[in-house]
A and B are shown apart, each in its own frame.
Chain A
Amino acid sequence: MDKNEAVIQYLLQCSQIQDNPLFFNFLDAKDDNKQFITVANDKRLNKTYIDGSVLRRYTFTIVDFRSVTYQAMVKTAGYPNENFEEFLDVQGIVDWIEEQNDNRNYPNFGTDCIIEEIRTLTDNPVLNGVDSNITPPLAKYSISIQIDYLDISKKLFH
Chain B
Amino acid sequence: MAVNPFNLADGQRAERKLLITVAEWKETVGTSIQVTREILGTRTEDSSIDYNVDIETTTDIRGNNYTDVNKSQPQQEFGTYLVLGGSKLGPKLNDIRKRNALSELSQFTIYVITAYIGNATDGYEAERHTKCTISYESLGGDTNVNFPITIYLSNMDDTTTATAALGHAGIGTVDKLAEDFTFTLDV
Which A positions have Cβ atoms within 8 angstroms of B?
47-53, 150, 154-158
> Could you say which of B46, B115, B179 contacts A50, with CB atoms under 8 Å apart?
B46
Is B13 in contact with chain A by the CB < 8 A criterion?
A: no
- Residue B92 interfacial (CB < 8 Å): no
Q: How far, in angstroms, from A158 to B177 measured CA to CA in the complex?
A: 8
* B42 contact from A47, A48, A49, A154, Cβ within 8 A: A49
B71 at the interface (CB under 8 A from A): no
Pairwise interchain contact A51-B39, C-beta atoms closer than 8 A: yes
The 8 nearest A-B residue pairs measured at CB? A52-B17, A51-B41, A50-B41, A157-B39, A156-B17, A50-B16, A50-B44, A156-B177
Nearest CB on B from A112, distance (A): 14
Interface core residue of A48, A150, A154, A156 (most chain B CB under 10 Å): A156
Q: Chain A residues with Cβ under 8 A from B60's Cβ?
A: none
Closest Cβ of chain A: how far from B166's Cβ, in Å?
A: 28
Is the beta-carbon distance between A156 and B45 smaller than 8 angstroms? no
**A51-B44 contact given A155-B17, A156-B20, A157-B39, CB 8 Å threshold:** yes
B31-53 to A contact mask, C-beta < 8 Å, 1/0: 00000000101111111000000
Instruction: Collect the chain A residues with CB atoms within 8 Å of residue B17's CB.
Output: 50-52, 154-156
Complex contact A156–B115 (CB within 8 A): yes
Q: How many A-B residue pairs have CB under 8 A?
A: 42
> Contact string, B14-29, partner A, CB cutoff 8 A, digits 1/0?
0111111000000000
Distance to closest chain B CB from A148 (angstroms): 12
User: Complex formed: what's the CA distance from A51 to B17 in Å?
Assistant: 5
Residues of B within 8 A of A53 (CB): 42-43
Question: Do A156 and B44 touch (CB < 8 A)?
Answer: no
B20 to chain A, nearest CB (A): 6
A11 CA / B163 CA spacing, docked (Å): 60
A37 to chain B minimum Cβ distance, whole angstroms, is 30
Residues in B whose Cβ lies below 8 Å from that of A154: 17
On chain A, the residues within 8 Å of B177 by CB distance are 156-157
Contacts of A47 in B (CB 8 A): 45
Nearest CB of chain B from residue A100's CB, rounded to whole Å: 18
For B42, what are the chain A residues with a Cβ–Cβ distance below 8 Å?
A: 49, 51, 53
In Å, the complex CA distance between A9 and B46 comes to 37
Q: When chains A and B are docked, how far (Å) is the Cα of A79 from the Cα of B47?
A: 64
* Complex A-B: 26 CB contacts under 8 Å: A47-B45, A48-B16, A48-B45, A49-B41, A49-B42, A49-B43, A50-B16, A50-B19, A50-B41, A50-B44, A51-B17, A51-B20, A51-B42, A52-B15, A53-B42, A53-B43, A150-B43, A154-B17, A155-B17, A156-B177, A157-B20, A157-B39, A157-B178, A157-B179, A158-B178, A158-B179
